[in-house]
Chain A
Amino acid sequence: MKQHRTTATILSVLVQGLGQIYNGQRLKGIVLLLIEALGLVYLVPRLGEAFWGLATLGETTQKFVKVNNSAQLVKGDHSIFLMLNGLIVVFVLIVFLVIYVLNIQDAYKTGLLRDRGEKPKSFRQSYENATGRYFPYLMLALPALGVLFFTIMPIIFTILLAFTNYSAPDHIPPAKLVDWVGFKTFKDLLFLKSWSHTFFGVLFWTIVWAVVATVTTYFGGVLVALLIEQQGIRFKKLWRTIFILPYAVPQLISLLIMKNLFNGQFGPINQYFKAFGLDGLPWLTDPFWAKVTVIVVNMWLGIPVSMVLILGVLTAIPKDLYEAAEVDGASSFQKFRIITMPFILFATAPVLIMQFAGNINNFNVIFLLTNGGPIKGDYQFAGATDLLVTWLYKLTLDNSKFNVASAIGIVIFLMIASFSIWNFRRSRSFKEEDMIQ
């Protein structure tokens, strides 16, 4: 009686679900059969075009054909729709293939059970199995599908775009076709003078911004937290609540408010300057002062966050450390330098590095405050305070340079990814070392 598993497997390879029916699991078999039917109905008419579309990105452009003395538009291939549709079909294909492989495995396993003379599981038992052993998969299915279609697929699509020439003005469907061009976009970005000048300029400012923004908010937070937690300061809770206020106001609103506050002509800040007899400063319109403004405003937004974090860490420092230091006659500054600061740094290092990575991607502050401006004449579609992300956004939405935008996205990803991986490894090795405990 060795046949069962072979027969069931072959049947399931031929038609999904047939092996299960052969094994006597009729309901399960029918469900699988229906899934396959659904898959075939969806995939068969689409598969050929999908692969053709992905490979060629379309072959005919739209054109006008003369019909009865009037020009009529004949639709051509839309490269981007072809690419996306191809990608969707491939993703659906993968989902069905996974089900298909599981179906074969299942048929084989049940056949094996029967060969051993055991009874195959009934639908009820399968159901119980599903809520038992397979429970985590069942739970993950819905979130995973969402992530697959609304995060992973768009990202893959965008990565693919970096290897095409999809950009204004010459390659925008439906009027024109888009083609695969390999690494040309990256080469242009790095070596073609007009692009590389902007790219390295923006990259340099992005890094300067990320470092300065992270350091100022972090140490600002440390300072404020220590001020509050000093011995002898009263109304600690009141101070804390006041200082948290900037964190509680939605960022969008506070940034738009700041934009008005720093308005060079009518804003109150310059009015105060004038009241003291000083000339106002071009806060948002001068390249240098715009950079100062975004950093100052970012401190206003970011210091409360670090403060909350560091207040939490401060309470965790064992008091006996300080008592021991006092016995040894340490001054306040020594206590701070030898106990407090190392402790805070150790506990918040992973967060600090993630904040740095987050600042590289800090879209809101720049976009809402200066919109990347003031415009720089020798930059391609970028201004003096533009970060890589805001530049990416402008290239996509305002200038339709999709391929360059995608390439920049990949560069940002590589930067963030290397930091995060380094951080991850470092904090792991730290944990093993148990430096402080």
Chain B
Amino acid sequence: MKKRKGKVRLTLSYILLIAIAVVSIYPVLWVVLSSLRPGAALYSESMWPSRFTLDHYRELFGNKAFPYATWYLNTLKIATLSMIFSTILVTLGMYSLSRFRFRGRQTTLTIMLVLGMFPSFMSMIALYIILLQLKLLDTHAALVIVYSAGAVLGGFIVKGFFDTIPRSLDEAARIDGASHLKVFTRIMLPLSRPMLTYVALTSFTGAWVDFIFARLVLRTKEKWTLAVGMWDLVNSYQNSNFTMFAAGSVLIAIPITLLFIFLQRFLVQGLTSGASKG
């Protein structure tokens, strides 16, 4: 009796699991297949294309109206630079907030918490005017600066990580005569490699997909990032160019998805460090 009940439960569970798996995979599979389908329309008779073609990928790089290759390079450049600068700024700031007990530390932490509660683009108008005054509007430098400066506020996870590294380590090194700088570069940095990877990864993907701020700052089509370009493609040519959009999406998603799967462990660590473990 009990065994049969267990079997029913298992069968039901498997059905549910399969259903969820289908729902999870379906949109992704649909876009991949659409990108390989001949024709340009959103509408199609069946999900499975009647024949496969790589035309849309070729068109992405050949079409004059959509400088997709330029956008790709722009985005790569911005994301890489923001990743480097954000990681440096976040590590410096959070290390000193985690390791040292100095005057103004508590205040700094509180200010950071409070600043994090403002909707991030509430400052949009002001940033726009500041960048206009600095003559940085429509430049990639503006994006890199703002992303990197903004990354500092999201650094609590990093601080939490530094907090978990035993203090006895750096105290011992200090007694042996190492300077703070040396302790930082020789002991702390190598130990915090998982966290650095997490920060680098999130700031890279953040810059890779940010659309709100990029749309505000970048005015000329040649300077756009992928996110702005893709949004424009969907909004202005939704039904007439759908397959091309699908191809573009696949190319944007591939590096991020690969990075994610590759570095899943760090992401999960970063996510769960927000929860207090029992």
Residues of A within 8 A of B (CB): 80-81, 84-85, 88, 131-132, 135-137, 139-140, 142-144, 146-147, 149-155, 157-158, 161, 224, 227-228, 230, 232-233, 239, 241-254, 256-261, 263, 265-268, 271, 300, 304-305, 308-309, 312-313, 316-317, 343, 346-348, 350-351, 354, 357, 361, 363, 367-368, 389, 392-393, 396-397, 402, 405-406, 409, 412-413, 416-417, 420, 424, 427, 431, 436-437
Contacts and interface: CB of A to CB of B under 8 A. Distances in A.
A140 B274 contact: no
A425 to B, nearest CB: 12
Given A161-B125, A239-B17, A81 B133 contact: yes
Given A139-B92, A260-B238, A308-B271, 18 more contacts: A135-B181, A147-B112, A150-B130, A157-B126, A239-B17, A241-B261, A245-B257, A247-B260, A250-B256, A252-B209, A256-B245, A263-B239, A266-B41, A305-B271, A347-B275, A405-B125, A420-B113, A436-B278
Question: Per DSSP, are chain A's interface residues mostly helix, strand or loop, or mixed?
Answer: helix
B47 interface: yes
Interface of B: 6, 9-10, 13-14, 16-17, 20-21, 23-25, 27-28, 30-31, 41-44, 47, 89-90, 92-93, 95-97, 99-100, 102, 105, 108, 112-115, 117-127, 129-130, 133, 145-146, 148-150, 152-153, 179-181, 205, 208-209, 211-212, 216, 227, 230-231, 234, 238-239, 242, 245, 249, 252-253, 256-257, 260-261, 264, 268, 271-272, 274-278
B180 A131 contact: yes
B123 A139 contact: no
A166 to B, nearest CB: 9
Given A250-B253, A252-B230, A431-B276, A151 B123 contact: yes
Given A136-B100, A249-B256, A348-B275, A413 B153 contact: no
Contacts of B242: 260
Nearest to B147: A150
Given A343-B278, A402-B125, A147 B211 contact: no
B231 A80 contact: no
B234 A268 contact: no
Contacts of A247: 260
Contacts of A136: 96-97, 99-100, 102, 105
Contacts of B90: 143
A396 B124 contact: yes
B234 A397 contact: no
Which among A232, A268, A405, A412 has the greatest number of chain B C-beta atoms within 10 A? A268
A348 B148 CA distance: 29
Nearest to B114: A417
A272 B103 CA distance: 64
Contact of A257 (B10, B146, B209, B249): B249
Identify which of B99, B121, B148 gathers the most chain A CB atoms within 10 Å of its CB: B121
Contacts of B43: 265-266, 271
A218 B121 CA distance: 26
Contacts of A268: 30, 44, 47
Contacts of B133: 81, 84-85
A363 B276 CA distance: 27
Contacts, number: 268
Q: Give the interface centre of A239, A253, A424 by most chain B CB atoms within 10 Å.
A: A253
A10 B119 CA distance: 46
9 contacts: A132-B180, A140-B92, A233-B10, A253-B209, A266-B41, A300-B27, A313-B277, A346-B278, A402-B125
A397 B125 CA distance: 8
Nearest to A414: B117
Contacts of B179: 131-132
A255 to B, nearest CB: 10
A316 B89 CA distance: 33
What secondary structure prevails in chain B residues at the interface with A?
Answer: helix
Contacts of B31: 257
B249 A149 contact: no
A347 B278 contact: yes
Contact of A256 (B6, B93, B234): B234
A242 B21 contact: yes
A359 B31 CA distance: 27
Contacts of A265: 43, 239
A271 B9 CA distance: 33
A136 B183 CA distance: 13
Contact of B122 (A155, A243, A316): A155
B108 to A, nearest CB: 7
Contacts of A427: 276
A343 B278 CA distance: 8
Contacts of B121: 363, 389, 392-393
Contacts of B152: 143, 146-147
Contact of B150 (A151, A161, A260): A151
Given A143-B89, A151-B123, A155-B118, A135 B96 contact: yes
A397 B216 contact: yes
A246 B93 contact: no
B127 A313 contact: no
Contacts of A224: 20
Nearest to A413: B118
A150 B125 contact: no
A18 to B, nearest CB: 26
A151 B212 contact: no
B127 A233 contact: no
B145 A392 contact: no
B233 to A, nearest CB: 9
Contacts of A368: 211, 231
Given A155-B123, A420-B117, A351 B275 contact: yes
Nearest to B146: A150
In the A-B complex, list the 10 residue pairs whose CB atoms are closest, starting with the nearest. Answer: A154-B123, A146-B149, A154-B126, A143-B93, A409-B122, A136-B100, A136-B96, A157-B126, A150-B149, A266-B43
Nearest to B242: A260
Given A143-B92, A258-B27, A268-B47, A81 B278 contact: no
Contacts of A261: 27, 30
A97 to B, nearest CB: 16
Nearest to B272: A312
